Structure 1
């Protein structure tokens, strides 16, 4: 069983870190992230209990323990002890279970009897117990998680990120988690909608904290964020993806020669500058088409293509699908 304290890797926001010089780029990257809650549950579980959550690609799970305790278990057998005040963000939507103890019988959460509390929130009661000490009170969410231009960092993101409300490593989250605890426990009028919004904020802050500290990983886009010479070019690309950039223009922004810039970009990010630019455009296009339902013609115009046909050819060449087919598949 893993210890929660050993897993928390959140930044000390009062300290100076290597990312401070690239804060504008971090802001730009996070701007493209989309996190939208699709289903939330207020769960009152009496021991013994076991709740199974299925694998959901393109989604993330969020769990908050307001009272009691739980064991988080994944399919590979790894387990984590959770206590009151702990929050968990499962970025890749991996299948997992919440248990009162390791040997508890498991039922699929979707089969549990639920009472609607709002459009996306319901109340779930599992088991019966007269002893409050045998019960756990949790708030659970399943969210659409679209990384947008953070896609390169997404592959580096850990499968599970755990936050301890009693710790000092992420002080900005503590008041929000304390508010969630009060709302879950008191169940006052309108608490369901408030909890859903708070959960979205907490999840976004967890992702932001991970990007800012990068979990010590210095490869790919993370290394580029640390390099002020590359960060300037990346910021320009992300702010103006529709501009017809040349390698010489990007190198000039970084005050270096074209050849030195191109070599450094390729070595650090594993792809040439103009290839990265095209991939960035297609990630943005996919997000605008499927999540924001933007017309294809408008997407093409915003990304600098001279015609819808030219954009459609580029999109299919990069993704394998036409813009219209991609939108239909996502729907």
Structure 2
């Protein structure tokens, strides 16, 4: 396979996977602080934190005590919602962000002054969200707990202007700005995930490694584009221009599961999204995923998720 064709396949696969990414329940804060401040953020499983330092300097302290110096133009993405603090100095006392007075700027945006008795010289744009990767959940599990981002650096071209627009939207609070913020947040998260995939270390495992493996990219792209097709291992191998046995061995070694098991798990992740978020009828989900009957789909769903599709739907509550 020519190198340029292989690269195109990998690029198309990443496009397909990023389209499935969802941010839900995003809460934004515009935080200003003076020369002395300490702001704590509690652990939030299933969520991600994002902070952009628009002006000033700060020290990021993670739960394990590790320290990172931030300056204007730096951003932080904490994919698994780990506890952390942003401080003017590591010795400064910390106050949980929820305990600060917050001035509502809309349903999902508020302004916080972390140093009300001091002149502000630090400006932070902060967000907390449910970070859902749907069909690429395996990729999300592999993301590092902390990603330090130079928004003006070469790895993230175009990120700084988007962050600047987000800050202006929060500051101006023009009509419809919450909707604009939601769309821009999707773009920012997608750019961060893409930058990590592009620069993933050579010993990356699982789906992160598969995204960078031109010998698997064609099959994965086909699976994600047509999850309801009745795939055979031979058909998937043909997309990679390799034999059935070579493909099956490489797929298992890279992703840790056989190809057809991956197909089933992918279908059930999509089914969970369609049932809970899109509220589709069970019979329609079964049809979309290629099952000949609702009963066959329900058996597969329970085998993979541990509960029937109806219980999955009932157990889900939309975020406030």
In the superposition, the TM-score normalised over structure 2's length comes to: 0.89
- Matching residue within 247, 256, 260 for 1:274: 260
Where 1:158 maps in the other structure, the secondary structure is coil
Question: Where does 1:136-175 land on structure 2 (aligned, <5 Å)?
Answer: 136-175=122-161
- Deviation string 1:142-174 (CA, Å, 9 cap, x unpaired) is 111111122222222111112223434422213
**2:104 matches 1:123:** no
SS at 2:199 equivalent = helix
Q: Per the alignment, in what secondary structure is the counterpart of residue 227 of structure 2? A: coil
**Are 1:43 and 2:31 counterparts?**
yes
CA-CA distance at 1:188 after TM superposition: 5.8
Determine the structure 1 residue equivalent to 2:79.
Answer: 91
Distance in 2 (alpha carbons) for counterparts of 1:188 and 1:258: 57
Question: Does residue 25 in structure 1 map to residue 9 in structure 2?
Answer: no
Corresponding residue of 1:13: none
Contact 1:19 1:225 in 2 (8 A): no
- Larger mean Cα displacement after TM superposition, 281-290 or 18-27: 18-27
C-alpha change, 1:67 and 1:226, in structure 2 (3 Å) is closer
C-alpha spacing 1:302/1:195, structure 2 compared with 1 (3 Å): closer
The question of whether the paired residues in 2 share the 8 Å contact of 1:36 and 1:200 is answered with no
**In the aligned structure 1, how far is the partner of 2:237 from the partner of 2:184?**
42
> Aligned partners of 2:268, 2:12: CA distance in 1, in Å?
22
For residues 269 and 196 of structure 1, the distance between their equivalents in structure 2, rounded to whole angstroms, comes to 32
Please give the alpha-carbon distance, in whole angstroms, between the structure 2 residues aligned to 1:252 and 1:200.
34
Unaligned runs of 5+ in 2: none
Moved over 6 A (4+): none
Q: Distance in 2 between matches of 1:218 and 1:166?
A: 26
- Correspondence 1:108 to 2:74: no
Residue in 2 aligned with 1:69?
A: 57
Length, aligned pairs only: 312
Aligned-pair Cα RMSD in Å = 2.3
1:80 equivalent in alignment to 2:68: yes
| Structure 2 Cα separation of the partners of residues 160 and 19 of structure 1 | 28
CA distance in 1, matches of 2:140, 2:269: 13
Check the 8 A contact 1:114/1:122 in 2, yes or no: yes
Structure 1 residue 273, shift from structure 2 partner: 0.9
Q: Which blocks of at least 5 consecutive residues in structure 1 are unaligned?
A: 1-15
- How far off its partner does 1:208 sit? 1.8
| 1:317 and 2:303 are equivalent in the alignment | yes
Work out the CA distance in 1 between the residues paired with 2:108 and 2:164: 22
Among 217, 222, 225, the alignment partner of 1:231 is 217
Q: Does structure 1 residue 221 correspond to structure 2 residue 207? A: yes
CA contact (8 A) 1:91 1:157 kept: yes
Deviation by residue 1:170-228 (Cα, 9 ceiling, x = unmatched): 222132233345556x5464595355543332222111221233344442223323333
